[in-house]
Amino acid sequence: MTKALSAAQRGAVADAEPATGRLSARPAVCAALVAAGLAAPHGRGGHHSYYLTTEGRRLRAELAAASGEAPDGQPGGTPPPPAPGTGFVADDGTGDAPPSGRGARRAAEVAAAWESLLRIRALLLDGVTDVPAPWERERCVHCVALALEAANCPPAGPDSPGYRVTAAPERGMAEIRWSVPGPAADALARCADLLGSRGWQCTRHRTREGHSYLVVSPRR
């Protein structure tokens, strides 16, 4: 396969983002990789991004091994950094993210972001969309918050109860708490059900004070 590719095409595969497989090459190079079955377009209305397919990721690993680079693109096998943002920020309910707003515009943004995530899952997992892609483990808080927001579960606000998603001590996991203790048990049970249908598994825990919270990890 590599002998049939041009130097530019091989370079594009080798330089793809380690976490997501996103290509940054010229459109003509990306189109050639699509024709070779190594990449797939993602986007609408002529505004496409290109991502490596499973075969493309295999080729990237081969090129990395041949050059002495770790498969994840980091020296010494260091885990890859979180995938770069796309401009959309899921509301994790902590107040740290930029104000997300409400209403039809926000709902459309959330729906589009969730659809994009599912398409990336399909690209990276040979059509499977009901389990998280590997790169989601590196952006667990964002992806869990997006799954909840896309399911119309409310994030916590200054004057409204809702979920709060934070990073767990364990790598690739998140924790969810409900902002109001009273209805927390029922609300967290609903969160667990919603996330379970979107590729995440949840376990219930309690703090020393007796407050419930969830630990969320990718379903395998």
pLDDT tens-digit map of 130-146: 999 888 988 999 999 99
| Number of neighbours of residue 65 by Cβ within 10 angstroms | 11
pTM: 0.67
CA distances from 175 to 110, 140, 169, 192 (A): 21, 10, 9, 11
Residue 173 has pLDDT above 80, yes or no: yes
Residue 154 DSSP class? P
| pLDDT value at residue 135 | 84
Portions of the chain given CATH number 1.10.10: 2-77
Alpha-carbon gap, residue 157 to 162, rounded angstroms: 7
Which amino acid belongs to residue 150? A
Kindly state the DSSP code that residue 208 receives in the 8-state scheme. T
Q: If you classify domain 2-77 with CATH, what class do you get?
A: mainly alpha
- pLDDT tens per residue, range 7-50: 888 889 988 988 788 899 998 899 889 888 898 887 665 566 88
